């Protein structure tokens, strides 16, 4: 079976980079996948993609060695299983509040006897290899997002969930949970301290911690703080920043 590069990087003690796909198009996915991210996430929660967009985007990503990840819109087993059957090698589940919810997400990603995933990897077997079913339980990465008051209250139990690979910090919703203005790359001391607590709790239980960032500078700081994966930027953010850069330079040179 095709191995999951992210798991190997984590075994080697390395931090992985993650790119983000908010635009529902195969060409955008292909271009982003060729930029050198270790993994790339198709966003079904807040991006423009629907489940019907996932297959061509995964096919575009699979032309590279970038690991394909899908953030589902909700902790719903059928959608999780579908994304995996289409060839996702990682699943991010938002708004996980309890250990029971984390366990449900893990179960949807694992075949019996350790999980409840249904057999039918229609494309995943072509992407992963003929022995996919025998090894998929060991290669799929499942990440639970910690971003609510209830999730913070149950942090220790969530991180202790058997089979969970990582917790993923959603900074804007976490800001809501802390009574702060929602934003990415939040410099507020309370927010930073809470993120560090999530990181420490994850590592205490032998799992990884992932930070969703909005800039390379903040992501670099997260790596120095010990995070195991950082989301650097999205296709949408790059498109806006690139257009703004050219317009600003044009205006400055023609002023």
Task: Report the catalytic residues.
Answer: 46
Give dist(CA 206, CA 159) in Å, integer: 8
> To which H or E segment does residue 42 belong?
strand 39-43
- Which residue shows structure tokens 């060695």? 65
For every residue of 96-149, DSSP letters joined together read --SHHHHHHHHHHHS-TTT--PPS--TTHHHHH-TTHHHHHHHH-EEEEEE-SH
Question: In which element (H, E) is residue 90 found?
Answer: strand 90-93
- Return the closest-CA partner of residue 9 out of 29, 31, 37: 37
């Amino acid at each position: 079976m095709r191995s999951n590069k992210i798991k190997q990087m984590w075994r080697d003690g390395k931090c992985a980079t993650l790119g983000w796909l908010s635009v529902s198009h195969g060409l955008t996915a292909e271009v982003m996948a060729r930029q050198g991210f270790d993994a790339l996430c198709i966003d079904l929660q807040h991006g423009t993609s629907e489940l019907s967009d996932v297959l061509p985007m995964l096919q575009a990503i699979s032309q590279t060695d970038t690991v394909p990840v899908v953030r589902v819109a909700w902790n719903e087993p059928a959608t999780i299983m579908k994304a995996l059957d289409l060839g996702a090698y990682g699943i991010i589940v938002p708004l996980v509040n309890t250990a029971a919810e984390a366990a449900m997400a893990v179960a949807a990603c694992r075949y019996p006897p350790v999980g409840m995933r249904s057999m039918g990897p229609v494309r995943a077997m072509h992407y992963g290899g003929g022995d996919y079913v025998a090894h998929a339980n060991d290669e799929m990465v499942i990440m639970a997002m910690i971003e609510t008051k209830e999730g913070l209250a149950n942090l220790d139990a969530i991180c202790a969930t058997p089979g969970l690979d990582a917790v993923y910090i959603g900074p804007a919703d976490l800001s809501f949970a802390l009574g702060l203005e929602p934003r990415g790359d939040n410099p507020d001391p309370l927010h930073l301290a809470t993120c560090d607590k999530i990181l420490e709790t994850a590592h205490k239980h032998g799992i990884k911690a992932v930070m969703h960032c909005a800039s390379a500078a903040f992501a670099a700081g997260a790596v120095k703080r010990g995070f195991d994966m950082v989301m650097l930027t999205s296709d949408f953010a790059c498109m806006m920043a690139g257009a703004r850069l050219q317009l600003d330079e044009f205006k400055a040179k023609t002023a």
